[in-house]
Amino acid sequence: YIPGIRVNGMDVLAVRQAIAFGRQRAIAGEGPMVIEMKTYRYGGHSMSDPGTTYRTREEIQHMRSTSDPITGYKHRLLDNGVASEDDLKAIDKQAKKFVDEELAKAKAEPEPQAHELWDDVYVKGAEVPYLRGRVPEETHHY
């Protein structure tokens, strides 16, 4: 039996607290636990699924306007005086700059070699003797 908890995955602070609880439990030697994050998916499952055949656009918009994790956390920060609107705009601007810089670095790097795709899949010493691909010819031996 592995114990578990269900968490509102749309609430940043609830997620943080649940992860802290699970981490502390593991560090204390109490074993693993399942943490189920209940979230709402704004888009479809894939490119071929717009996500509007089984729910309305109004439902999606309602969820986005009332339950979005980033917007909800922003309101908490503002309502509790933790940050001002200007503070949050500066953080957003800094984050976008950082992402743009890192993206430029990544695009400047050469494409990885095919054999590198299997690097760091397992911790050194815990590797499996082989990893099967989609077909037998894609079996990768270590």
Q: Provide the annotated active-site residues.
A: 41, 45, 54
Are the CB atoms for 10 and 67 separated by under 8 Å? yes
Q: Distances from the Cα of 20 to the Cαs of 8, 12, 14, 82, 125, in angstroms?
A: 15, 12, 10, 21, 29
Q: Distances from the Cα of 26 to the Cαs of 31, 36, 114, in angstroms?
A: 5, 16, 36
d(CA 61, CA 121): 38
